[in-house]
Structure 1
Amino acid sequence: MQISIENMLLQFRERATHLEAVDTPHSLNTPLEWLAGWITLNREKLTEEDMVVLCSIGAMIHREKLIKESTSRSRKR
Structure 2
Amino acid sequence: MPALVHTTPGAVPRDRLLRLPQVEDAAGIKKSTVYALVREGKFPAPVRITRRLSVWPESAVLAWVQTQIRGGANHE
Higher relative contact order (CA 8 A, sep 6+): 1
TM over 0.5, yes or no?
A: no
Q: TM-score, normalised by structure 1?
A: 0.29
Report the structure, 1 or 2, having the larger helix content: 1
Q: TM-score, normalised by structure 2?
A: 0.30
